[in-house]
Structure 1
């Protein structure tokens, strides 16, 4: 499968460009919508929680600290949720193409992965501009973000492709995952810091592999600190296991994939 991906690398790259163009066809703002949606969601959270409910970020007196915390967390979560959600439905979306054109089917989740990374890069640029308007100059710790991007995208890709294969055969998975992602979002410290979680619920945070990955963004973008690498061991192992398992399941189910569609 890896050699097939290499042979079809130009097809993958052209498909990523085509997907980005097609997603916002006849739209005047085009790719800007992929940036505006998470920014608008973070702005709504900041308005409701910071301005209306008076939420603040502990240890920092800056009024803009909480919106920056939200933007950093939303950036990490948007990358994860986009890859998982799109990978889960990509085989169903491209069912007609799979039946008419012969190409390695593994290309489809990789195309989703690539387009999500492009969207994420544009989002980070937009967030950096917002930070400058808020008086926060990106520091050297931002150089840790590629590590967060790599770990989150690999974890999301492995999980998304695994769910994508299962979703072809059992369509209920697609409905259930949407609910699970919403619950997972609120169980991850994105709109609240870890410090406010009650002690009797800390075990939920400790079991959540997205927590240390999102904290890479928080530490680098908000606090200008390098992440603690010790908590990343479990997410790294889990990401590798999911990636290998997803390739094994995909290879086993690939001959029956088109028939199930």
Structure 2
């Protein structure tokens, strides 16, 4: 993003924050449980997977003696994946979902990705805050190691935004892109060591995991939250590089086709 684009987005910060606030409020209008719905879906997934896999996987986690070890491992992975999937899923439809806004109002188009990242980050913070509270009351809080999550989350956001904006532009011109990626995302979830630890896989498959950019991010989350240790930073560099390249490609696609984009909506 160029300095001029950053300045343009900053000048519309009121519009961005107002949009995030309106979206958050609208999401729970006429809802009896309100904000609880943000937590219930990932919580239901965690409970189901814990019940099904806890006895099988508990002994497979190296160096984990806590009775909550597998639950923490699972929560860390699902919460991290949920944030990534929400950003990418919304970004691939960001231009289609805001077609009326794009046609009627004049504003920097890059405000839209910023709005969706902030909105998704707000949902993530709510869920992560409750997860942190659980860790504190069960005496499993990782301590100062939790601050290692800041650069890990930054890498995750860069990858999610780069991939999401690239898909978002392509999805305007080729509507099958969104449908296809929804299927890819389901396979991607199970090909990432979220529910299971990577050490149970054959060595050849573990080698292939290195080419999964989310594997290093999820592994970093789990290492921090389960063991309270610094992640392997060297494994995050390829993910950061890929995310950066996708951001550059996505922005170039957007700039090149911005004139045609509105006509196609």
TM-score w.r.t. structure 2 length?
A: 0.93
CA distances 1:195-223 after superposition (whole Å, capped 9, x unpaired): 11111212320100111111121111111
Matches within 5 A, 1:1-261: 1-51=5-55, 53=56, 55-56=58-59, 57-261=61-265
1:76-132 Cα offsets, whole Å, 9 max, x none, are 101110000001112111112212222222211211111111111111101112223
How far does the alpha carbon of each residue in 1:155-211 deviate from its partner, in whole angstroms, 9 at most, with x for none? 101100110010011000010001100111111110011111111212320100111
Q: Hey, what's the Cα distance between the residues in 1 that align with 2:57 and 2:249? A: 45
Secondary structure of the structure 1 residue equivalent to 2:141: coil
Instruction: Return the alpha-carbon distance in structure 2 between the equivalents of residues 212 and 173 of structure 1.
Output: 26
Q: Show structure 1 runs of 5+ residues with no match.
A: none
Query: TM-score, normalized by length of structure 1?
Result: 0.95
CA distance in 2, matches of 1:124, 1:176: 29
- 2-structure distance, mates of 1:140, 1:149: 16
Q: Which runs of 4+ in 1 moved over 4 A?
A: none
CA shift, 1:12, in A, is: 0.7
CA contact (8 A) 1:128 1:138 kept: no
Q: What RMSD, in angstroms, separates the aligned Cα atoms of the two structures?
A: 1.5
Q: How many equivalent pairs are there?
A: 260
Contact 2:141 2:225 in 1 (8 A): no
Unaligned runs of 5+ in 2: none
Return the offset for 1:28: 3.0
Deviation per CA, 1:30-80: give whole Å up to 9, x if none. 2332222212211211111115x5644233232210011000001110111
